Chains A and B, each alone.
Chain A
């Protein structure tokens, strides 16, 4: 199975901050990397697929990058509604696997 390692596991930030979350995979996955946002009591939401394509309706302050084994999710200017947990997921090969999550908290 492809192992997914996110860093950091949590972070504290202020509204307006630029935030970057990293996801590293145990083997190359080209650009088959997706990002999700989860808020307590709500279903996870697809943010980005194929490393950098924003899902319909996702604000442009979210962006994704990387290739091979190293990927990033960046929020250019953190908004109050962005405080949540973020997961990466590889879709290169089955079994599909997820990172352990990064919790973004209010500083």
Chain B
């Protein structure tokens, strides 16, 4: 059974960097079958795809966030991470780490999600 678990601070100050890590278990992150993805849900809004990384380091970001975003991977720890800089209150959201099928681009396993609030 594939499991993903987000970890990181639940509170970030405006203008600072939001950093989250996702630990994957039950599947090697070094697989051609999946991309490793971040999705968020802001209060009162729908789900927003943030971007993904392939285990070799290739990334694809949502253009709406690309200028502030870095997604990285650590295959030795079976983890991938999200860094979003210059955050504002508009970045307050539940952040999910997700496995994305590399052929069908659907999301087959999700973490529980972690709430990150941006506030001084």
Contact = CB atoms under 8 A, between A and B. Distances in A.
Interface of A: 32, 34, 36, 42-46, 49-50, 55, 87, 89, 91, 94-101
B104 interface: yes
Interface in B87-112: 96, 101, 104-112
Contacts of A46: 106-109
Contact of B107 (A89, A94, A95, A97): A89
B112 A43 contact: yes
A43 B49 contact: no
B63 interface: yes
A45 B1 CA distance: 14
A2 B112 CA distance: 26
B46 interface: yes
Contacts, number: 52
A26 B111 CA distance: 29
Given A99-B46, A100-B46, 7 more contacts: A32-B105, A44-B110, A49-B101, A50-B104, A91-B104, A91-B105, A95-B49
B110 A45 contact: yes
Contacts of B46: 87, 98-101
A95 B47 CA distance: 12
A33 B60 CA distance: 20
Nearest to B101: A49
Nearest to A98: B47
B97 to A, nearest CB: 10
Contacts of B96: 43-44
B64 interface: yes
Interface string B108-120: 1111110000000
A80 to B, nearest CB: 23
A94 B113 contact: no
B62 interface: yes
